[in-house]
């Protein structure tokens, strides 16, 4: 699909310049210095030649149709160049030029103009406002980002050209290679999904990595990334994730679900590995690119220093990996040749005077152990240490035994530099700390587990969709956006939830009569479409045991609340059965504009925004995903019965989440929804949706 970008036989640089420092000059110079084997056509109407190459006044004057055009003319001239590309039949164009939608409305119109020309002519565009693209294996450096990097197996895309230039510089300084690098800029046409798909089909790319600031088509991204993650790991940095500028939300879920929350849920669903720094992204990439995936999570450590071994052991425990227990046979083999003072357990300490042969023996033996899934090799540069020889020994062992992943950490700088260079040249991952090596193993283990997860099967329950549709459409016709508690509960009942019995009272005596019929204890709640968080204004009274308490609570509410909120329309007071004997939970949903319904689970009542002990996941939910939402919270320990307490019906909570997920998936009008509290008792009891609120908008 993007082959003309990555494998061009000829490249035209429209806007090639003779002036050093100009983008048009730097791109041409980069192309020449990289040794591009195809034909380069500089296009500049004011020059006869640039850097020894014949210069053409226009694309048409070349007399040939270049495979790829790089456009570096001013923004207002790009449309004319695009029209010329369309006339000639050029199908791949990189628009380096800035000054488009990133600068405002005028630039947006220019961008739409060039996009319209491209689509009518079947042209694909990378950019505008980008750094260009690089394919090291083809000696193609159509960018102004720096020197051509080494050939590697990581494909990299970046929405930021400046960041890509920094990544390129770091990679060159550390001899890190790439299969392809693409700056996607404004993503007028080719976007992150196109690049990910191209990298997925590229035999030279083993690892897909990138930096994104936003995702163009959320639902398509989830679907495509989930498919591709089964074949190749996707490592992404995502910027622009703070809550600053987020709209005010009316529900607990809405207030807790920021942009970053949605991306975390999306990456979890799609198997995308989230990276929080360039360094960690490089760390993870070299693990995936150069080592086999671990078959399990048992890690063995080989070291020549006790302190370094302890650091690795701490990191293994912190990352909740298994500290491998070496078999008796392994320990006997180690004891047969290692000094008596060495440690034959994990971590295997070969002692500070270990020469390469001792390291080679220990690695050989430990890799044979069936209890070991991955090995971390540590080296500290002591007086007798031979870092270069040890690196060569590691290379020798792994040539014989390539089946298990091995990660190295030669601590130090100058004394271990040559050893690290040997490891790097032989595609053996090396890290600057034990923690970085162990974190890479953790990420790889999690990826293996994600790939092995059960096939996603979303259960559909028998529900009354017609009733829900009637309620939602009636409120939308009336202009009501916040649906009241009574109708919210009707919606829930239509999807199989149980709600407490209740009725609205307009006088204190009527409230007492309703309470007598329901049975004590009861709850009173202020009844107003203008009051969302009732408890904040004293609009909830619980554990009312008799008629007098009910009437007193009614009178107090009707006296105080109108003084606090004189403009609120108060319709009465809801008298409700008191639900007790269970745990208060919250089930929530906030509809993300890019990715759809974002489900929430956590501790309920008024504590949800204080504790922030919540889990989010994209709808629709499978049974496994619903249970995983519970497990991922601190609340879960309480739910299963900590310190002798009786646990609650976990399966019932998971089913409720699935029913809720089905509801919000089937009705896109629902923008936000909370069930809070959702009372759950021990197995065999019926969970009750005590309170609920829904905010709707036209779909």
CATH number at residue 361: 3.40.50.261
**Are 528 and 587 within one domain?**
no
Question: 595 and 558 share a domain?
Answer: no
Report if residue 462 sits inside a domain. Answer: no
Per-residue confidence (pLDDT) for residue 609, from 0 to 100: 60
Whether residue 671 is found in the same domain as residue 542 = no
pTM of the model: 0.89
Is the pLDDT at 251 greater than 60, yes or no?
Answer: no
Answer for the pair 148, 171: CB distance below 8 angstroms, yes or no: no
pLDDT level of residue 143 (50, 70, 90 thresholds): very high
- The per-residue pLDDT for range 338-379, each reduced to its tens digit, is 999 999 999 999 999 999 999 999 999 999 999 999 999 999
Is the separation of the CB atoms in 494 and 555 below 8 Å?
A: no
Report residue 241's pLDDT band, with 50, 70 and 90 as the boundaries: low
Interacting residues of 411 by C-beta distance below 8 A, sequence separation 6+: 308, 378, 379, 380, 381, 432, 433
CA atoms within 13 A on the CB side of 300: 30
266-301: burial string, b at 16+ Cβ within 10 Å, e else: bbbbbbbbbbeebebbbbbbbbbbbbebbeebbbbb
Asked if residue 483 belongs to a domain, the reply is no
* pLDDT of 693 over the 50 cut: yes
Name the residue range of residue 565's domain: 501-577
Residue of 528 and 33 predicted with greater confidence: 33
Check which CATH number belongs to the domain holding 552 and give it.
Answer: 3.30.1490.20
Query: Which H or E run includes 557?
Result: helix 547-564
Domain co-membership, 424 together with 568: no
**How far apart are alpha carbons 482 and 531 in whole angstroms?**
10
Residue 214 within any structural domain of the chain: no
In this structure, is residue 399 part of a structural domain? yes
270 pLDDT band, cuts 50/70/90, is: very high
Classify residue 288: in a domain, yes or no: no
Q: Which two tokens stand for residue 40?
A: 């380069």
The answer on 505 and 439 residing in a single domain is no
What token pair was written down for 48? 């006869």
DSSP label at residue 595: T
Query: For residue 409, what are its two tokens?
Result: 């950490």
- d(Cα 215, Cα 266) in Å, to the nearest integer? 11
Domain identity same for 50 and 164: yes
Given a cut of 70, whether residue 567 has pLDDT beyond it is yes
pLDDT given for residue 250 in this prediction: 42
Final residue of a domain: which of 553, 577, 601? 577
Residue 193 sits in the same domain as residue 126: yes
Residue 678 has, within 13 A of its CA and on its CB side, a CA count of 30
Q: What angle do CA 534, 661, 605 make, to 5 degrees?
A: 25
Euclidean distance between CA atoms 193 and 196, whole angstroms: 5
Residues 634 and 564 in one domain: no
Q: What is the mean pLDDT of residues 544-571?
A: 92
**pLDDT-derived band at 485, boundaries 50, 70, 90:** confident
- Average pLDDT (490-516) is 93
Q: Which of 50-64, 341-355, 444-458, 566-580 is predicted least confidently?
A: 566-580
| Pair (100, 196) in one structural domain | yes
Task: Using the 3D structure, point to which of 514, 547, 577 is the last residue of a domain.
Answer: 577
d(CA 216, CA 163): 20
Closest among 133, 514, 445 to 292, alpha carbons compared: 445
* Collapsed DSSP state (helix, strand, coil) of residue 401: coil
Are residue 51 and residue 111 in the same domain, yes or no? yes
What's the rounded mean pLDDT across residues 405-423?
A: 95
Helices in 374-496 by DSSP H: which ranges? 387-400, 417-425, 434-451, 465-477, 485-494
Of 31-35, 186-190, 531-535, the least confident:
531-535
Q: Which of 35-49, 117-131, 522-536 comes out lowest in average pLDDT? A: 522-536
Query: Given this model, what pLDDT does residue 582 score?
Result: 81
Is 400 part of a structural domain of the chain? Answer: yes
Q: What count of other Cβ atoms lies within 10 Å of the Cβ of residue 121?
A: 17
pLDDT at 610: 60
Instruction: Assess if residue 232 is contained within a domain.
Output: no
CATH of residue 657? 3.30.470.20
Whether 227 is in a domain gets the answer no
The length of the chain is 699
| Of residues 244 and 175, more confidently modeled | 175
Q: Do 95 and 127 fall within a single domain?
A: yes
Number of domains in the chain: 4
At residue 280, does pLDDT exceed 90? yes
Domain end residue (candidates: 519, 550, 577): 577
Burial 403-436 (b: 16+ CB within 10 A, else e): ebbbbbbbbbeebbeebbebbbeeebbbbebbbb
Asked if pLDDT for residue 673 goes beyond 60, the answer is yes
The share of the chain scoring above pLDDT 90, in percent, equals 77
129 in the same domain as 18 = yes
């Amino acid at each position: 699909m993007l082959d003309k970008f990555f494998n061009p036989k000829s490249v035209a640089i429209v806007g090639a310049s003779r002036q050093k420092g100009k983008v048009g000059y730097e791109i041409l110079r980069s192309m020449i210095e990289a040794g591009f084997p195809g034909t380069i056509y500089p296009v500049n109407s004011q020059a006869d030649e640039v850097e020894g190459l014949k210069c053409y006044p226009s694309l048409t004057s070349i007399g040939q149709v270049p495979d790829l055009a790089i456009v570096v003319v001013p923004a207002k001239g790009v449309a004319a160049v695009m029209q010329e590309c369309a006339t000639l039949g050029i199908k791949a164009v990189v628009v380096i030029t800035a000054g488009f939608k990133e600068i405002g409305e005028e630039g947006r119109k220019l961008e739409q103009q060039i996009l319209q020309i491209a689509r009518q002519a079947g042209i694909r565009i990378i950019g505008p406002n980008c750094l260009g693209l690089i394919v090291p294996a083809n000696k193609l450096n159509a960018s102004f980002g720096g020197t051509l990097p080494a050939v590697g197996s990581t494909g990299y895309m970046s929405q930021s050209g400046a960041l890509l230039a920094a990544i390129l510089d770091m990679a060159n300084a550390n001899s890190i290679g790439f299969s392809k690098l693409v700056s996607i800029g404004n993503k007028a046409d080719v976007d992150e999904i196109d690049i990910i798909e191209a990298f997925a089909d590229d035999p030279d790319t083993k690892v897909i990595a990138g930096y994104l600031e936003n995702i163009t088509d959320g639902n398509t991204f989830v679907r495509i990334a989930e498919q591709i993650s089964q074949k190749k790991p996707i490592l992404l940095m995502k910027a622009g994730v703070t809550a600053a500028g987020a709209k005010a939300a009316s529900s607990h879920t809405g207030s807790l679900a920021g942009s970053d929350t949605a991306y975390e849920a999306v990456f979890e669903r799609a198997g995308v590995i989230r990276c929080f720094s360039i360094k960690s992204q490089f760390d993870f990439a070299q693990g995936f690119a150069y080592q086999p995936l671990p078959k399990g999570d048992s890690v063995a450590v080989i070291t020549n220093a006790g302190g370094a071994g302890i650091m690795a052991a701490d990191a293994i425990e912190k990352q909740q990996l298994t500290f491998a227990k070496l078999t008796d046979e392994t320990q006997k083999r180690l004891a047969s040749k290692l000094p008596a003072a060495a440690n034959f357990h994990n971590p295997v300490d070969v002692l500070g005077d270990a020469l390469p042969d001792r390291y080679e023996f220990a690695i050989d033996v430990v890799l044979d152990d069936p209890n070991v899934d991955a090995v971390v090799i540590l080296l500290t540069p002591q007086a007798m240490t031979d870092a270069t020889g040890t690196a060569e020994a590691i290379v020798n062992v792994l040539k014989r035994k390539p089946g298990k992943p091995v990660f190295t950490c030669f601590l130090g700088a100058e004394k271990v530099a040559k050893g690290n260079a040997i490891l790097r040249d032989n595609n053996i991952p090396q890290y600057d700390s034990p923690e970085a090596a162990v974190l890479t193993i953790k990420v790889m283990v999690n990826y293996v587990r994600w790939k092995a997860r059960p096939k996603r099967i979303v259960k559909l329950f028998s529900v009354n969709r017609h009733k829900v549709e009637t309620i939602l459409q009636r409120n939308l016709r009336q202009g009501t956006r916040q649906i009241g508690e009574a109708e919210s509960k009707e919606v829930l009942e239509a999807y199989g939830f149980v709600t407490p019995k209740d009725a609205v009272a307009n006088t204190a005596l009527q409230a007492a009569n309703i309470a007598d019929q329901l049975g004590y204890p009861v709850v009173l709640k202020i009844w107003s479409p203008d009051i969302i968080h009732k408890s904040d204004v004293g609009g909830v009274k619980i554990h009312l045991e008799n008629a007098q308490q009910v009437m007193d609570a009614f009178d107090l509410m009707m006296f105080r609340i109108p003084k606090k909120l004189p403009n609120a329309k108060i319709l009465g007071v809801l008298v409700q059965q008191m639900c007790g004997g269970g745990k208060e939970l919250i089930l929530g949903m906030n509809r993300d504009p890019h990715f759809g319904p974002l489900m929430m689970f956590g501790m309920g009542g008024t504590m949800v925004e204080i504790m922030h002990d919540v889990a989010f996941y994209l709808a629709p939910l499978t049974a496994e995903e619903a249970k995983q939402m519970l497990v991922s919270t601190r609340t879960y320990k309480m739910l299963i019965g900590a310190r002798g307490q009786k646990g609650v019906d976990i399966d019932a909570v998971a089913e409720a989440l699935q029913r809720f997920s089905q509801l919000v998936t089937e009705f896109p009008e629902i923008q936000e929804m909370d069930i809070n509290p959702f009372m759950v008792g021990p197995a065999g009891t019926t969970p009750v949706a005590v309170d609920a609120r829904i905010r709707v908008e036209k779909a």
